[in-house]
Structure 1
Amino acid sequence: MQLEKVQGFLFDLHGVIADSWQYHLASWRTIAEELAIPWTPALAQALPGMSRQASLETILASAQESGRLLPDEFKAVTDHENALYRQYVAAMTPANRLPGITAFLDQLVAAGYPLALASASTNARAEIERLGLQDYFSRIVPAESLAAAKPAPDVYLAAAQLLDADPRACVALEDTLTGVAAAKAAGCITIGLNRDPLPAADAQLSSTAELSLATVQRVLGRLTRSTETL
């Protein structure tokens, strides 16, 4: 696909626009400690990209305690994590934007590309406001409207719909295995942003600092040539 045929850009939030996952991990570490469950590097690696419910399930399963909490107790713990996380959100500023993101957003806006935020976080709008990016992201998927969390495609299908765009003609930017799976399931051209491998992504950059329209053009050109040789 050529860049001029792209109908929109769909952004994940945590790990793509801001390094918010560090705050979620800090909140979940507190939860694990309160539940007397050991916090491990494996949990820190597994949780990014997961929903709040899936994160708690993963923490419990890591200690073979999947059935430990009754439904009301489970909800109380996830609500507690959200409250802890919101304390971090309240302290966020534009300085929390990841390197290169502001310049890339400016390029997209100047070129006339519509943008949408494809985050499953119920705190997404508050985070965007704290980051000072509300002028870029007036279209934010309401997380509470989603039937299924990532890796289901719901959030990316909804984001493309906000742009009145075909998801197959949208570029999605993701930083986790779960997020890449969701974007690919929706049919999006997916660029992974991570130092660790994201094998399902159509292309991968190690950092948001590498993002530019010229880079996206090169990625799309390589994908087009690859398709032509099949």
Structure 2
Amino acid sequence: MTAKAFIFDLDGVLTDTAEFHFIAWQATAHQLGLEFTREDNEGLKGVDRVGSLQLILDKGQLSVSEEKFEQLLVEKNQHYLELINDINPDNLFPGVLDCFAALKEQGIKIGLASASKNAAFVVDKLGIADLFDFIGDAASVANSKPAPDIFLSVAQGLGLSPEDCIGVEDAVAGVTAIKSAGMYAVGIGEKSVLTQADIVFPTTGEMDVQQLLS
């Protein structure tokens, strides 16, 4: 295949805001009288905000009113935004800028497909917003990962067919979304975990752009 675009997930691929999500979700769980561990947090990887809260409630076999559900979502997001307010270009993973530069040099488009509704805010803080040719909006798609919607939406935004795109993800739900979209899937992390990926690199910095383009 000759790739015309790389579509990146944000959290865990370009930067690590997972710790901030963990702190905010843990506070939400504690408010509900529930325990919330790092292991529990792993289960929320790649899942959107609504789905994440539902998983926490399901774990505690709890149900809340629609109004309370919305209130918890708003509070969690406000807490998360306070935590990431100080994020800056130093929070970018090593090798990301080199990777983007290599893609730009080859005339390859760069897209962002994040489950986070705060993605645009985060990439702006990281100082890389202008490097993207298209930033997908998680709020504008009907179904979140593992559904392919966000990746298909970004491909469309880039003016390309899904088969012309390579998706890069660190979460199982994200890799499933890439494959469901009909794209080549690059996993970032453990091969034993990201079994659906076509190829896996330990970190984004170790991703071999030339190998993927040949």
TM tier relative to shorter chain: over 0.9
Judge conservation of contact 1:170–1:189 (CA < 8 Å) in 2: yes
The structure whose Rg is larger is: 1
Q: Distance in 1 between matches of 2:117 and 2:38?
A: 26
State the 1:203 CA deviation: 0.9
- TM value normalised by structure 1: 0.89
Matches for 1:89-128 after TM superposition, within 5 Å: 89-128=84-123
Matches for 1:147-162 after TM superposition, within 5 Å: 147-162=142-157
Judge conservation of contact 1:31–1:81 (CA < 8 Å) in 2: yes
Corresponding residue for residue 176 of structure 1: 171
Corresponding residue for residue 25 of structure 2: 28
State the 1:120 CA deviation: 2.4
Q: Distance in 1 between matches of 2:173 and 2:105?
A: 31
Judge conservation of contact 2:109–2:133 (CA < 8 Å) in 1: no
Q: 1:75 is matched by which residue type in structure 2? A: E
Q: 1:201 is matched by which residue type in structure 2? A: A
Instruction: Identify which range, 24-33 or 170-179, moves more after superposition.
Output: 24-33
Q: Deviations over 1:5-45 (max 9, x none)?
A: 21211011111111111211111011111111011343122
Segments of structure 2 that go 5 or more residues without pairing to the other structure are none
Q: 2:152 is matched by which residue type in structure 1? A: L
Q: Distance in 2 between matches of 1:143 and 1:204?
A: 25
Corresponding residue for residue 132 of structure 1: 127
Q: 1:214 is matched by which residue type in structure 2? A: Q
Judge conservation of contact 1:101–1:211 (CA < 8 Å) in 2: no
State the 1:83 CA deviation: 0.6
Question: Which of 194, 204, 209 is matched with 1:208 structurally?
Answer: 204
Q: Distance in 1 between matches of 2:163 and 2:18?
A: 28
State the 1:138 CA deviation: 4.3
Judge conservation of contact 2:46–2:115 (CA < 8 Å) in 1: no
Corresponding residue for residue 198 of structure 1: 194
Which SS does the other structure have where 1:197 is aligned?
Answer: coil
Judge conservation of contact 2:22–2:38 (CA < 8 Å) in 1: no
Q: Deviations over 1:102-136 (max 9, x none)?
A: 11011111111011111121111111110000121
> Percent identity among equivalent residues?
33
- TM value normalised by structure 2: 0.95
Q: Distance in 2 between matches of 1:34 and 1:138?
A: 40
Q: Distance in 1 between matches of 2:11 and 2:185?
A: 16
Corresponding residue for residue 37 of structure 1: 34
Q: Distance in 1 between matches of 2:156 and 2:144?
A: 17
Which SS does the other structure have where 2:7 is aligned?
Answer: strand
Judge conservation of contact 2:133–2:158 (CA < 8 Å) in 1: no
Which SS does the other structure have where 1:135 is aligned?
Answer: helix
Q: Distance in 2 between matches of 1:74 and 1:143?
A: 19
